[in-house]
Amino acid sequence: MHRRLRRWCEGGVIERIFRHLAADHDNEYMMIDSTIVRAHQHSAGARKKGGWIRPPGGPVAD
């Protein structure tokens, strides 16, 4: 993500985006959403490979 932002800044893309947003006084496009950034599978709650997971406050069931 940082590389893309840096390239956009160096190439003037960010400046063009903000100029376009500032020129449109409708305010319909004034929010930039970054929800397209994908999270790593472990941050999304994927199970780890191997082994049993101990339940909180109890022993491991066989």
Residue 54 counted as domain residue? no
Handedness of CA 28, 30, 31, 34 (dihedral sign): positive
Does residue 11 have a pLDDT over 90? yes
> Whole domain around residue 1: which residue ranges?
1-26
Q: Does residue 44 lie within any of the structural domains?
A: no
Domain assignment of residue 17, yes or no: yes
Q: What average pLDDT score do residues 26-42 get?
A: 67
pLDDT value at residue 22: 82
Judge whether 58 lies within some domain: no
Q: Is residue 12 part of a domain?
A: yes
Per-residue pLDDT at 54: 65
